[in-house]
Amino acid sequence: ERRDFVRNLTKSIVSYTDENCLVLSINGIWGSGKSSVINLIKEEIDNLFLDKQAQKFKPIVFDFNPWLFSGQNQLVGKFFETLSLKLRKINSAAIKKIGEGLENYGQYFEPIISTLIPIPLLSAIASKAPQAVGNALKQYGLKQNEDLETSKIKLEKLLGKLENKIIIFIDDIDRLTKE
């Protein structure tokens, strides 16, 4: 009963031409078929790009499971890390370069992650966390010869040149803690 909905939604997604990101949400109670709809959309994407010429423009589909990680900072860092790994496996120099850019961008979050991991001495760490995070970001930026904003701008330019859409599926958000 979802086929027509999925077909129309998938066509809308793949024909979206605005340069800004598009974010869609499928909401429903547990067991109502949200994951099934996601799987049907992936299948429909494959069906739309069966033709050898169409394969060149087939969207890059990426699944991210946020419930595998804990904490907001780890979530952000791991998102960029896993997306980078996915892109770096694709046989395209331009896409691999984007993967490397994402990896560099994601590394800005690593010092934050290692500084804010909860441990029994959290109160002692919490008072030093802002300074430690600032120092870690400064050191990383010096190492990369660019700040976070410059890294982001470079990444946006690379993504803007990409002929393929990147479609990211994030399922099971309801399993996340409020943090």
Angle made by CA atoms 165, 47, 79, in degrees to the nearest 5? 35
Q: Which residues contact 157 (CB under 8 A, 6 or more apart)?
A: none
* Model pLDDT for residues 74-116, shown as the tens digit of each residue: 777 788 788 888 877 777 777 777 877 777 777 666 554 444 4
* Model pLDDT for residues 42-82, shown as the tens digit of each residue: 999 999 998 888 888 889 898 988 876 666 667 777 887 88
Q: Which two tokens stand for residue 48?
A: 């739309």
Q: Is the C-alpha dihedral spanning 77, 79, 82, 83 positive or negative? A: negative
Reported pTM: 0.69
pLDDT at 102: 77
What size, in residues, is the chain? Answer: 179
